[in-house]
Amino acid sequence: MAAPKVAVVGAGVVGLSTALCIAETCPSCSVTVLSDQFSPNTTSDVAAGMLIPHTYPGTPIHTQKQWFKETFTYLFAINNSAEASEAGISLISGWQVFKNTPKEELPFWSDVVLGFRPMSEAELQKFPQHQFGQAFTTLKCDCPPYLLWLEKRLKATGVQMRTRKVANLWELHSEYNIVVNCAGIGAHQLVGDEKLFPVRGQVLKVHAPWVKNFIRDGDGLTYIYPGIHRVTLGGTRERDSWSLSPDPGTTKDILDRCCSLEPSLRGAEDIKVKVGLRPSRQCVRLQKEVLSQGGVKLPVVHNYGHGAGGFSVHRGTAKEAARLVGECIAALQGSSSRAKL
Amino acid sequence: YADRYTPHATSDGAAGLWQPYLNDHGNLQETLWNKETFDYFLGHLGSPAAKEMGLFLISGYNLFTQPVPDPSWKNIVLGFRNLTPKELELFPGYSYGWFNTALMLECRSYLPWLTNRLTQRGVKFFHKKVESFQEMFARGVDVVINCTGMRAGELQPDPELQPGRGQVIKVLAPWVKHFIITHDIKSGIYNSPYVIPGSEFTVLGGIYQHGNWSEENSAQDHKTIWENCCRLLPSLQKAKIVQEWSGLRPARPCVRLERETVRQGQFQAEVIHNSGHGGFGITIHWGCAMAAARLFGSILQEKKLASPPQPR
């Protein structure tokens, strides 16, 4: 077949990075990104973009570690180049503190991040309510810059981007040979995935440029993530809440919790409140499917359900999705040559 | 009394990072003063004044081309450790290094904050160049505390005091969150590139010229700093240059912190010297200030004993 036409649905970090991986591995493909939202209005734009993995109960740990490692290595190289600031990538050190010593003292990703070690007694004195902690250095992707940088790279490789609300994947079958579903929380409606559920997160993005280290409570609820221009303060984990409206009581609660970890945040200015719905699932749905109607087939590659861990594994899952797209193309080319016989 | 105040003092040119030199040359007293300073400000991190003082925590890297012994301050800072091989991949050309968390105290905020506190306590400020100790005594001053830094030699010759000229480029690079200080044992302290992010600007440096009194910015030094720092941290190529500055570190083999009785004709009065802090003024200042205050306390004690109690 001549240039396979691939549609990627979704323009968050997963959609854009998947489109880029497809364009990189299949230069003959014609790739189009379709989304009703682009940066700065995607779920990814709300996230802090910290490379600290979320553990998916339904995915083998070695796979998650592979995804994280690929993502970390990819961003590490950008961080060390002149493009770092345009791409919104920064290196950041800090602490994860626990009120009670966790059962698992070494997370699976401890040897992927840099300099991972337990905190010293002196370091823990800064956190009188916490008994145990881990210090390490990791990477952060600021959005919108990272998404805008991905869009720029996509345009440079000839990938088209179109604002379009896709109601169902089948509607694309006449224009495209393969569809890649990176719709995030949108997949709930788009493909009717009942296993996908929102976990609502409210965050504050504040001006506090003297905060140079991240601080995260091991319970995952309270965190301080300094970005290039703003510090993200969080957060909440409200399962099954679909509300995108900021809640003022929550704002005050987040500020209080963060100030108890870092008192100087009382001086934070220009507080902006944002809400995002983490597209959560027991495991990331990363698999092929063939839709068919009346003898017509449409290969689909799903890559959604990254929940709280999208940034941490985005490149790894994008590469796997691109590989699956390659398999779809091979299958299509195989069947089209059989059709010619 | 001073002829230069913030933001035109030597202190204002410093990035504000707490870090002593690598080698204390057996000067244990200075190490104690450094520790006193660090501990004092560490304790103030959580206070509401921290932001106004320009005080915050910062982590970062010290880089070497060969293994070196641990510094005298390894147990003063937080989380001191050697760099892992993966971390060294961040810095091609360097094969050994340290990571630790230390403090920043930015003088652009700290000096005005101190000024406010002094003013609240009734301290008077005079914008005036003092030409001699005698000039002070003639005004009826009993004790002079000499904190004249680089120009202490003008008040009293001090052949051990020499300028350690430095030049820095201030840039906007808010994505840099760590300090990075490289060391070249051959070229000496601060003659190797360093990058120190502040609350607004990032300071790029790496110049130390012993004996050079020029406070003019040098184009050659600019080139050295810029090229070396961009090689160290390629992302700096996109940083916007905001300001260039040069100043003279008041370098001495050791800090001059001592009492002296100065006589001239009928005048006799006490001078407490507190100068010659080189490139580690911020690092050591609180310990030295306390020591100077103790010397002042002894002077007061002596004066009390010398003058008999007044009859009621």
Q: Which among B78, B86, B234 has CB closest to A114?
A: B86
**In the prediction, which pLDDT does A39 show?**
96
Q: End-to-end alpha-carbon separation of chain A, Å?
A: 14
Contact check, Cβ <8 Å, A213/B51: no
Q: Where are chain A's structural domains?
A: 5-339
Q: Which among A85, A92, A209 has CB closest to B238?
A: A85
The one-letter amino acid at A298: L
Q: Are strands A285-293 and A269-280 parallel, antiparallel or unpaired?
A: unpaired
The response to whether B19 counts as a known ligand-binding position is yes
Q: How far is Cα A41 from Cα B70, in angstroms, rounded to an integer?
A: 49
Average pLDDT, 10 consecutive residues per value, chain A (341 residues): 91 98 96 98 98 97 98 98 98 97 91 97 96 97 98 97 97 97 97 97 98 97 98 98 98 98 97 98 98 95 98 98 97 76 49
Could you give the residue ranges of the DSSP H alpha helices within chain B? 28-44, 50-53, 85-88, 107-120, 133-138, 152-155, 219-232, 281-306
Tokens of A203: 């965050």
CATH for A5-339 (3.40.50.720, 3.40.50.2300, 3.40.50.2000, 1.10.3720.10): 3.40.50.720
C-beta neighbour count of B96 within 10 angstroms:
15
**In the prediction, which pLDDT does B13 show?**
94
Strands (E), chain B: 55-64, 78-82, 96-105, 143-146, 162-172, 179-182, 194-197, 202-205, 209-210, 240-251, 256-264, 267-275
Q: How far is CA A318 from CA A87, A278, B2, B129, in A?
A: 18, 18, 63, 67
Coil, strand or helix at A137: strand
**Predicted confidence pLDDT, tens digits, chain B (312 residues):** 999 999 999 999 999 999 999 988 889 999 999 999 999 999 999 999 999 999 999 999 999 999 999 999 999 999 999 999 999 999 999 999 999 999 999 999 999 999 999 999 999 999 999 999 989 988 889 899 999 999 999 999 999 999 999 999 999 999 999 999 999 988 888 899 999 999 999 999 999 999 999 999 999 999 999 999 999 999 999 999 999 999 999 999 999 999 999 887 777 789 999 999 999 999 999 999 999 999 999 999 998 877 666 665
| Residue B82 at interface with chain A, using a CB cutoff of 8 Å | no
Contacts of A74 (CB under 8 A, 6+ apart): A315
Residues belonging to the binding site of A for D-dopa are 223, 278
| Residue A114 at interface with chain B, using a CB cutoff of 8 Å | yes
Tokens of B230: 């961009």
For residue B50, the chain A residue with the least C-alpha distance is A264
> Tokens 């002077």 appear where?
B299
Q: Which among B50, B51, B197 has CB closest to A212?
A: B197
Q: How far does B201 lie from chain A, in Å, by closest CA?
A: 10
The one-letter amino acid at A195: K
CB B14 within 8 A of CB B116: no
ipTM: 0.94
Q: How many CA atoms lie within 13 A of A126 on its CB side?
A: 27
Q: Which of residues 221-250 of B touch A (CB under 8 A)?
A: 234-235, 237-239
For residue A88, the chain B residue with the least C-alpha distance is B175
The one-letter amino acid at B258: E
Is the pTM higher than 0.80? The answer reads yes
For residue B57, the chain A residue with the least C-alpha distance is A212
For residue A269, the chain B residue with the least C-alpha distance is B51
The one-letter amino acid at B14: A
> Tokens 């004790």 appear where?
B143
Domains, chain B: 10-111+162-251 (3.30.9.10), 128-159+254-306 (3.40.50.720)
Q: How far does B124 lie from chain A, in Å, by closest CA?
A: 30
- Angle, CA B176 vertex, CA B185 and CA A70 arms, to 5°: 100
